[in-house]
């Protein structure tokens, strides 16, 4: 990421115009401060536009990598720009849902553009009745069904499920073809 001088960028705050009247007609002082204006104009421009740099929807593309690192977002340079922007914008929300069905489904949709269904609870069991006996043990496996219209990188699905699931959870992934859309009905 580099913010360099932009040729011809005028300064919103020219130093020569702010000098005392003694220097207003001094050619050397005006040329010297004009050189400083050229150097400082990109700095002032960046500071004036700082909110735009911090908004992933409008930040420069090269700045997204830095924003992604701030919020711990996944940032794959091969993703389309809009998907990268959405990943950064929704990072905090996805962190909040990490380890849940909803978080896993949203992470798969965001990263791969697929629909997913998660069944099973990873072996967690409970009873809503106080002092009752233990319920029977549930299957200790989570099943993740991924529906995609095209080819899906199964290794990438496993990687995302592993990253978004609690560490003790065993899982199985099934990749299914998406049902045909009902266009024209």
Give 19-53 pLDDT, tens digit per residue.
Answer: 999 998 999 999 999 999 988 888 888 888 889 98
Tokens 């299914």 label which residue? Answer: 176
Total count of residues recorded for the chain? 185
pTM: 0.65
pLDDT for 126: 74
CA 96 – CA 9 distance, rounded (Å): 42
Question: For the packed helices 81-89 and 101-112, what is the interaxial angle rounded to 10 degrees?
Answer: 160
pLDDT for 2: 52
Tokens 């930040």 label which residue? Answer: 59
The parts of the chain modelled with pLDDT lower than 50 are 184-185
Contact at 8 Å (CB) between 161 and 133? Answer: no
CA 137 – CA 132 distance, rounded (Å): 15
pLDDT for 140: 74
Nearest to 178 by CA among 141, 155, 158, 149: 149
The pairing of beta strand 170-177 with beta strand 141-148: parallel
| 8-state DSSP, 59 | S
Look at residue 176 and give its three-state secondary structure.
strand
């Amino acid at each position: 990421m580099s913010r360099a001088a932009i040729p011809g960028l005028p300064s919103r705050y020219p130093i020569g115009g702010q000098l005392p009247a003694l220097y207003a007609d001094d050619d050397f002082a005006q040329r010297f401060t004009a050189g400083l204006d050229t150097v400082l104009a990109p700095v002032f421009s960046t500071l004036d536009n700082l909110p735009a740099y911090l908004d992933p929807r409008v930040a420069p593309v090269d700045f997204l990598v830095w924003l992604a690192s701030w919020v711990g977002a996944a940032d794959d340079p091969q993703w389309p720009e809009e998907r990268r922007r959405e990943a950064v914008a929704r990072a905090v929300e996805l962190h909040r849902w990490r380890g849940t069905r909803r978080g896993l489904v949203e992470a798969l949709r965001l990263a791969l553009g697929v629909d997913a269904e998660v069944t099973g609870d990873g072996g967690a069991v409970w009873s809503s009745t106080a002092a009752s006996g233990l319920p029977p043990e549930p299957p200790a496996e989570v099943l993740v069904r991924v529906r995609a219209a095209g080819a899906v990188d199964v290794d990438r699905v496993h990687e995302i499920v592993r990253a978004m699931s609690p560490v003790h959870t065993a899982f199985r992934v099934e990749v299914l073809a998406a049902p045909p859309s009902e266009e024209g009905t």
